[in-house]
């Protein structure tokens, strides 16, 4: 059950041995000890983690996090609706792409991958384009590691009576927030992110009154958000189609371990310490961060690639992997960079070991 290396990525990520052990038993999807005692408990815990306010519910969806984003976009917006998308990275762009596939009219704001959206521009668009019904925002844009100013963005959207969809894929469970207080209508995340489970399903925590409006609006059978939620509500946790049972049981264990750690606040503090240790260590070796410090999230950090002519990411990657660490290639259009994640079953001592491994892997400095 031991891992050969740490996954320093934004998910899938390194999980605890006990989370992986939880997948060693088979489950029947008709039994109460699975549906009531695991699935329904997960749904309740997720809702309570997301908000202290009443009127919210949750639904689990098979597939990747993107499938849950598509289920939400495809179910929440009527044929006459229009979506405003904030795109400052690959995942904002993906939301716009999903809307395009589903023939949903969109207005895209694209300030660039290393810039936060201009609030005055958004306010102007919302005032002028009265056809907009929904606003979609990515909380932590893992293209760069940027944390978007969701509080101000959501406040603007609500001033204009818009429904808010938040992609909190890589932030929920790792950054404290109350989606009810913020005014979020649909919040989307995934099992294999800050809760520290394994891949296999995503989930949506939503205002129940908004979710109920989705009835009959789904643009896909398997990604019909309302039908999935209604089935779970009526049948006490039963999924419409085959449930990823082993992944679900691992996620249940991961939720228990989040509680044991001290909740989201404690996990946020650990991730922040990881990120601070990482940046300080990498800078001591001569690496430069892509973003200014005030734009960083505690989730993942982008670094410019060394400018040395002998540097190649693949060789650097392999040297780190040999020492027990896996990092991520860059995803920014106009910058040569790579990314290192701070989330998962990873601790400051692991980051300190990583810095030593990076120093050993800097073959171009040996020339």
| pLDDT for the residue 365 | 73
If one counts every other C-beta atom within 10 angstroms of the C-beta of residue 85, the result is 25
Coil, helix or strand at residue 30: coil
| pLDDT for the residue 1 | 60
Residue-level pLDDT, tens digit, the chain, 367 residues: 678 999 999 889 999 999 999 999 999 999 999 999 999 999 999 999 999 999 999 999 999 999 999 999 999 999 999 999 999 999 999 999 999 999 999 999 999 999 999 999 999 999 999 999 999 999 999 999 999 999 999 999 999 999 999 999 999 999 999 999 999 999 999 999 999 999 999 999 999 999 999 999 999 999 999 999 999 999 999 999 999 999 999 999 999 999 999 999 999 999 999 999 999 999 999 999 999 999 999 999 999 999 998 999 999 999 999 999 999 998 888 889 999 999 999 999 999 999 999 999 998 875 4
d(CA 227, CA 61): 11
339 is in an annotated binding site: yes
Put residue 216 in one of left, alpha, beta given phi > 0 → left and psi -120 to 50 → alpha: left
Coil, helix or strand at residue 206: strand
- Tokens encoding 338: 């790579």
């Amino acid at each position: 059950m031991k891992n050969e290396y740490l996954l320093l990525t934004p998910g899938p990520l390194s999980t605890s041995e006990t989370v992986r052990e939880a997948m060693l038993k088979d489950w029947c999807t008709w039994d109460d000890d699975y549906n009531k005692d695991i699935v329904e408990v997960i749904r309740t815990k997720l809702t309570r983690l997301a908000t202290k306010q009443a009127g919210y519910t949750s639904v689990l969806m098979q597939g990747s996090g993107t499938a849950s984003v598509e289920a939400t976009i495809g179910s929440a917006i009527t044929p006459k609706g229009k979506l405003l998308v904030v795109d400052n990275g690959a995942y904002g762009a993906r939301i716009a792409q999903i809307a395009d596939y589903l023939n949903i009219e969109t207005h895209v704001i694209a300030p660039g991958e290393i810039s936060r959206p201009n609030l005055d521009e958004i306010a102007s668009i919302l005032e002028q384009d009265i056809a907009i019904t929904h606003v979609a925002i990515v909380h932590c844009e893992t293209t760069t590691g940027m944390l978007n100013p969701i509080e101000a963005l959501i406040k603007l959207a609500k001033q204009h009576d818009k429904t808010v969809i938040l992609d909190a894929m890589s932030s929920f469970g790792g950054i404290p927030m109350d989606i009810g207080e913020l005014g979020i209508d649909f919040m989307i995340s995934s099992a294999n992110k800050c809760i520290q489970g394994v891949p296999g399903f995503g989930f949506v925590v939503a205002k129940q009154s908004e979710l109920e409006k989705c009835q009959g609006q789904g643009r896909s059978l398997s990604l019909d958000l309302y039908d999935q939620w209604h089935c779970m509500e009526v049948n006490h946790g039963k999924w419409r189609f085959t449930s990823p049972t082993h992944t679900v049981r691992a996620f249940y264990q991961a939720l228990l371990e989040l509680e044991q750690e001290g909740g989201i606040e404690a996990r946020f503090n650990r991730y922040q310490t990881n990120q601070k240790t990482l940046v300080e260590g990498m800078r001591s070796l001569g690496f430069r961060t892509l973003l200014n410090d005030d734009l960083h999230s505690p989730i993942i950090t982008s670094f410019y690639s060394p400018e040395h002519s002998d540097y190649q990411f693949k060789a650097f990657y392999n040297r780190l992997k040999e020492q027990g660490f896996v990092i991520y290639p860059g995803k920014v259009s106009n910058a040569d960079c790579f990314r290192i994640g701070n989330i998962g079953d990873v601790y400051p001592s692991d980051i300190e070991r990583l810095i030593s491994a990076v120093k050993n892997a800097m073959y171009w400095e040996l020339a």
